[in-house]
Amino acid sequence: MASGGRVGITDVAKRAGVSVTTVSHVLSSRRPVAEATRQKVLRVIEELDYRPNEVARSMRVQRTSTVGLVVPNISHPFYTAAARGLEDALRPEGYHCIVTSTDADRDVERDAVRQLLSRVDGFVISGADKRTEDIQPILDAKLPLVMLGADIPGPGFDVVTNADFESGSLAAQHMLERGHRRIAFITAEDDFAAGARRVEGYRSALDKAGLSTEASLVIRAAASLEGGAKALANLRKLAEPPDAVICVSDVMAIGAMYAAREAGLRIPEDVAVMGFDDTEAAALVAPPLTTMATASRDHGRKAGELILRRIQDGTADVEPQRVVFPAKLIQRESTLGRWRGLLRVLPGRERRLLARLG
């Protein structure tokens, strides 16, 4: 038995009276082994409760069956779901996933990448707004890379992202269809690429509708409940306040809803509110929040598929792919009230609510 007390392949070989080569081949089926021998080896493996040392294996085959997931914060709902999706894709291939949160700190991120460079077969990275220098070490090491929510294109890596422009545009259209004409947009101060694209989409939709986008209707605030609340309060001070507000995230939208309630406004009658992401909270607030969904788990799953493709094909000769998930409206109660025709098509609860509103 190996010194440490752990059973090694040589222990199995000895006890089975065969060479380690044979044991290895029984396990890998990479060359035929006489049935009798095979049975014997398998029995000994059972007896000794032998399990191959994956680290030694990794070293020999130069493959770790692990990918590194580097995100700002694993406890943010988007990344959590993405992590789960990544797992979904990796498990069937026997791959694992090392998770690292960087708190959007560049130094932490750089360290994390350096540390993982020799421990993983590829990286899935997401950060607000990546620049080439951040990912260069990965490309230098010729390691497969997939970026989540990035704006920059390859070469050398794939991108999985959201149709943010379209998403912002659809959000605005949704408000327009409901008869709103003064539609505000509350966005985050630490502007991430996706947020900027959403604002652009919103602007474009208003343009197409022949509405000029007043600068005062697009305002920034902290990416938090409080931020959303303050932003709404500020919008209320305008000479002509908006009758609809689109917020760049659900959490800000919920903050805005609080502020609206405090101001005695009814939602959606006095002011309609929308968010982005379709986080769990969106369905739970009162009234339930209309939001543009982000299929975060799917993002992660797709990233997993892409990274596996790169790992298997060798990263060099793989054409960079850019996967864009379509925008999807989740219609709830925070944006009803104008289009009465909805009464016909709504599910029970929403209909009852509308009826109650008279």
Partner DNA sequence: ATGAAAGCGCTAACAG
Partner DNA sequence: CTGTTAGCGCTTTCAT
Decide whether 12 or 293 has the Cβ nearer to DNA: 12
Supply 240's token pair.
């002509």
Kindly list the strands in the beta sheet with 218-221, ordered across the sheet, starting from the edge strand earlier in the chain: 218-221, 183-188, 244-247, 272-277, 290-293, 328-330
- CB of 320 within 8 A of CB of 157? yes
CA of 320: how far to CAs of 69, 86, 158, 317, in Å? Answer: 19, 19, 5, 9
Q: Parallel, antiparallel, or unpaired: how do β-strands 244-247 and 158-162 relate?
A: unpaired
When CB distances are held under 5 to 8 angstroms depending on the partner's kind, the choice from a second copy, DNA, none that residue 61 binds is DNA
Sole window of 53-61, 161-169, 226-234, 284-292 interacting with DNA (rule: CB under 7 A): 53-61
Sole window of 14-22, 25-33, 61-69, 307-315 interacting with a second copy (rule: CB under 8 A): 61-69
Decide whether 3 or 212 has the Cβ nearer to DNA: 3
Report, in Å, the least distance between residue 68 CB and DNA: 18
Q: Does 137 bind DNA (CB under 7 A)?
A: no
When CB distances are held under 5 to 8 angstroms depending on the partner's kind, the choice from DNA, a second copy, none that residue 116 binds is a second copy
Q: Which of 39, 43, 56, 96 lies at the binding interface for DNA (CB under 7 A)?
A: 56
Decide whether 59 or 283 has the Cβ nearer to DNA: 59
Q: Which of 138, 147, 148, 254 lies at the binding interface for a second copy (CB under 8 A)?
A: 254
- CB of 240 within 8 A of CB of 146? no
Q: Does 59 bind a second copy (CB under 8 A)?
A: yes
User: What whole-number distance in Å separates Cα of residue 152 and Cα of residue 132?
Assistant: 9
When CB distances are held under 5 to 8 angstroms depending on the partner's kind, the choice from DNA, a second copy, none that residue 28 binds is DNA
CA of 155: how far to CAs of 133, 152, 239, 245, in Å? Answer: 14, 9, 49, 38
Q: Does 73 bind a second copy (CB under 8 A)?
A: yes
Which residue in 270, 276, 273, 250 sits closest to 335, CA to CA? 273
Decide whether 33 or 90 has the Cβ nearer to DNA: 33
DSSP 19-37: -HHHHHHHHH-SS---HHH
Decide whether 57 or 110 has the Cβ nearer to DNA: 57
Q: Which residues pair with 124 in a beta bridge?
A: 69, 146
Sole window of 77-85, 124-132, 214-222, 230-238 interacting with a second copy (rule: CB under 8 A): 77-85
DSSP 87-149: HHHHGGGT-EEEEEE-TT-HHHHHHHHHHHTTT-SEEEEE-TT--HHHHHHHHHTT--EEEES
When CB distances are held under 5 to 8 angstroms depending on the partner's kind, the choice from a second copy, DNA, none that residue 207 binds is none
- CB of 112 within 8 A of CB of 102? yes
Q: Does 314 bind DNA (CB under 7 A)?
A: no
Q: Which of 22, 24, 101, 290 lies at the binding interface for a second copy (CB under 8 A)?
A: 101
User: What whole-number distance in Å separates Cα of residue 217 and Cα of residue 183?
Assistant: 7
Q: Which of 25, 130, 299, 332 lies at the binding interface for DNA (CB under 7 A)?
A: 25
Q: Does 136 bind DNA (CB under 7 A)?
A: no
Q: Does 34 bind DNA (CB under 7 A)?
A: yes
Strands (E), the chain: 66-71, 96-101, 122-126, 145-148, 158-162, 183-188, 218-221, 244-247, 272-277, 290-293, 322-325, 328-330
Q: Spell out, one character per residue from 110 to 129, where the chain touches a second copy: x when CB under 8 A holds, - when not.
A: ----xxxxxx----------
Question: Where along the sequence are the contacts to DNA (CB under 7 A)?
Answer: 2-4, 6, 8-10, 17-22, 24-25, 27-28, 30-34, 36-38, 52-53, 56-57, 59-62
Question: Where along the sequence are the contacts to a second copy (CB under 8 A)?
Answer: 4-6, 49, 51-56, 58-59, 62, 64, 66, 73-75, 80-81, 83-84, 87, 94, 96-101, 114-119, 140-142, 225, 254, 261, 280-281, 283-286, 297
